[in-house]
Structures are given as structure tokens and as C-alpha cells.
Structure 1
């Protein structure tokens, strides 16, 4: 995986700072009671900077920097690797770079998404965007069309698997390794045809 340049690292640091302050304020005073102005002030940025990162308040919890990283690592997988095998390898690479702070931020975000209906609704839209992104990647790798029913079905199953793995992990006090194992286990189950 290519290491992000200085400018990209600074953007990610600001994104994380905004998320951290937003989550802290949401915990302290409630999601609905917290304003974008309060989040921006706590993070030491202007409201206009907040909006450059997050078009709406819900996105401070729902959005992250992972989709572009997934694309980057996926595109570097050996040609001819089956899509699920490539996605499992992508997750292994991404988790190797995760810190404990990254993992705790993910857990807090997931718990908040499941607790706040407006965030849950926004997450559905984010999942659809991730499905479209995956469909384009899978289509290119397999020589099929991104809008083909089977490609769309495949990517919907992958995203549903990830959602299940992450939500099951967030309900526990599991570690980074536990999350990685959950995600891989769900993809392996899917790869095997989801037998029961």
C-alpha cells in the first residue's frame, strides 16, 4: 500500500480530529443537541473547514478514509486473483496499518450509528456508495459491467458481510485482531457459499 503524502496525512489528521471531537460532544450532550459550530470550535477549525470534510453533520460519524485505501490496495493485487480472495488480502493489508486509536474510533462510530436513527439512515446511503465503488473495481477485474446484476449482487453481499462482521464486533470489547478475524470469517463464509 502506498504511504500517503504529507498533504494527505494532514487531511486525515484533521478528519480524525473532527471525528474525535464530534464523538466526544455527542457522548457528552447528545447527537441532536450538538451543532456543527461546536464540533468545529472543539477541533480548532472553522465551520467552513468542517463542511469541506463533511457535507452534513451525519457524515462526521459515517464517512471515513477507507474506501480510497481499499481501491488502492485492491488494484495492486496480483492479476487473476479471484475477487473475494483479493478483498480478503486487501483487509489484511489495511489492518496491518491500523492503530489501536483507529480501532477505537471505528468502534465508537459504529455504536453511534446504531444508536442514532439519522446516522443509521445516512449509513445506508454510504453503504450504497461503497457497493458502487466495489462494483466498478470488480467489473474491471472480471471484465464484466459494473451494472450487471451478478456484479451488483456480489458487491451487495460483500458490503452486507462487512456490516455484519463490524456490528457483531462493535457489540463486544474485541481487539483489532478480532475485527480483522470477523471480517475475514464472514468473507470466507460467503466464499464457501454461506453454508449452515
Structure 2
């Protein structure tokens, strides 16, 4: 993916703020760190922090690429190839030099406010995908189930398991296992 200089600079600033916040959370605990402290330690104003993230929980829900002016959902997500789309997204996110996009997974699992915010974000992503699936002809029930299975089941379930197992294997391995588990499920009455 080719980024303009401005997009690269924004993405770098966003990642710097996220990484600084995670350092502070790791050092002092999530609830003990304020937005003003994150902004000061990152070398940005609180206003810049709010522009990119909105809230402290936004550190876990903001799509850095969208905040930098890119829409990966539209450009990388192909409703006709969801497994390939997820592989491309994971690979793209994993390529961020010097930044681990899922570093804060511990806080998603441990902090109720963060988990609720992440669920809300996943719900929005699932609704966007469901709309695209309905546009291509899926029934409303099919679109909703597939979109939620994709975002909550495969993506988030893979992230959880990857984190719980100590991040010992590449995240993509978990995603591929999750996808294979879903494709192995047969509809009721299907004897194949």
C-alpha cells in the first residue's frame, strides 16, 4: 500500500501516541494514566490526542489507517473473499515498523471499559460488512451472521487466543485456524 508523506507522518504520530500510552499503562496501570499524561509523554497536545482517539478507550478502537485518511475496510475487505481479506488485513497491520498493533490486548481482556469499547467498534465493523453482504445479495440473516462470525468470531477470537497463549505463534496462524473451523461447520441437514 502506497502512502503519501502526510499519511505516513500521521500514521507515525498515531503509533507514537499509542505506543507511549501502552508504555505508561504497563508501568502504572490503565486507570492511573490520564489523557493529559499520555499527550505530554507523546509530545502532542491533548487536543491532538482527542482528534485522533476521542477517549482513552479510543486507543484500542481507533483504526490508525482511517485516522491517517485511509479506509482499509473499503480497499482491503472483499465480501467475496473474507478469508483472503482477513489475511491481507492482518499482514498489512503486522507490517507497521516498530509498532505492534495488538500490544494492548491485555487491557482489552482486563479492563471492562476497554472491552466494551472494543465490542462497540467490532459491532460497527460488522454492520458495515453486513451492509456490503446484503448489497451483493445475501439475506439479512446471512449477512448478519457472516459479518459477526467474521469480526467477533474469527478476528477477535483469534486475537484473544493468540494473547492467551502468550503470542507464541504468528497471529495469522490463529486467524487461519479460526477460518478453517468456520468453514468446517455444516448447516443442519447437510450430510456432506
TM-score calculated relative to the size of structure 2:
0.82
Report if aligned partners of 1:37, 1:47 keep a CA contact under 8 Å in 2.
yes
C-alpha distance in structure 2 between counterparts of 1:95 and 1:156, whole Å? 17
Report if aligned partners of 2:126, 2:147 keep a CA contact under 8 Å in 1.
yes
Q: Which runs of 5+ in 2 are unaligned?
A: 188-192
| SS of corresponding position for 2:54 | coil
Once the 2 structures are TM-superposed, how far is the Cα of residue 66 of structure 1 from its aligned partner?
A: 6.1
Once the 2 structures are TM-superposed, how far is the Cα of residue 27 of structure 1 from its aligned partner?
A: 1.3
Match of 2:165 among 162, 172, 175: 172
TM-score calculated relative to the size of structure 1:
0.81
1:181 corresponds to which residue? 173
Once the 2 structures are TM-superposed, how far is the Cα of residue 173 of structure 1 from its aligned partner?
A: 3.3
C-alpha distance in structure 2 between counterparts of 1:121 and 1:55, whole Å? 15
Report if aligned partners of 1:71, 1:137 keep a CA contact under 8 Å in 2.
no
Report if aligned partners of 1:20, 1:105 keep a CA contact under 8 Å in 2.
no
For residues 194 and 180 of structure 1, do their structure 2 counterparts lie closer, same or farther at Cα, with a shift above 3 Å needed? farther
1:78 corresponds to which residue? none
Q: How many residues align?
A: 180
Match of 1:117 among 108, 112, 122: 112
C-alpha distance in structure 2 between counterparts of 1:43 and 1:154, whole Å? 39
Q: Report matched runs for 1:3-14 at 5 Å.
A: 3-14=2-13
C-alpha distance in structure 2 between counterparts of 1:127 and 1:189, whole Å? 20
For residues 95 and 139 of structure 1, do their structure 2 counterparts lie closer, same or farther at Cα, with a shift above 3 Å needed? same
C-alpha distance in structure 2 between counterparts of 1:157 and 1:66, whole Å? 23
Match of 2:74 among 56, 71, 74: 71
Task: Compute the RMSD of aligned alpha carbons.
Answer: 2.3
Deviations 1:91-115 (A, max 9, x none): 332344423744x441x21111111
